[in-house]
Structure 1
Amino acid sequence: MFAVALARRVGASRVPRLIRNYAAAPPSGLSEGERTIFQKLTEKFSPAELEVQDVSGGCGTFYQIIIASEAFKGLPTVKQHRMVNEVLKQEIEGIHGLQLKTSPA
């Protein structure tokens, strides 16, 4: 869904090949870190859209997360991010960076 919208916005040739877009169960091919993050966020927020990507080159030190959930409805972005950070507290301790984009579904 997001990849399609992104392709329309920036042109298909500029869409990153590593974007992983999921809305239900994690597909095969995820790294252990991506799978853990995906499962925790899915359990807590039942997201309408969820992307989890290790953008550190596979070493698991920097993740990009895009999540849309009804749980964020009416909340400022800072509170949305705090909610995600609380769920991923243990994982965040072991990584160097997190790029996070949240939105209400």
Structure 2
Amino acid sequence: MSMTDTIHAKLSEKFAPLHLEVIDESASHHGHAGWREGGETHFRVRIATRDFDGMSRVAQHRAVMLALDDEMKASVHALAIEVLPSGSI
């Protein structure tokens, strides 16, 4: 399973999102810190979930990072998180 698929599966299971995009941006970081041959090091996540309603932005980001703790420790170098309002989906 690719890292994109793993991230998607973990976030889907944890948050039952209304919207979820997992974008591998590794190619645009070629030669930068943390980049490795084969990619799957730099990601962007766009997520909308009612689980985040009423949470601060910091708490939302912490929740995503906690859900992906193993991946962040093992192979993901960078993760950009965009939380979309659940009411807009």
Please, what TM-score do these two structures have when normalized by structure 2?
0.79
Tell me the C-alpha RMSD between the 2 structures: 1.3
CA contact (8 A) 1:62 1:97 kept: yes
2 CA distance for matches of 1:79 and 1:104? 14
Amino acid across the alignment from 2:78: G
2 CA distance for matches of 1:54 and 1:77? 22
Please, what TM-score do these two structures have when normalized by structure 1?
0.67
Amino acid across the alignment from 1:84: V
Amino acid across the alignment from 2:21: E
Unaligned runs of 5+ in 2: 28-37
Identity among equivalent positions (%) equals 39
Bigger relative CO (Cα 8 Å, ≥ 6 apart): 2
Paired position in structure 2 for 1:102:
83
**What is the deviation of 1:74?**
0.5
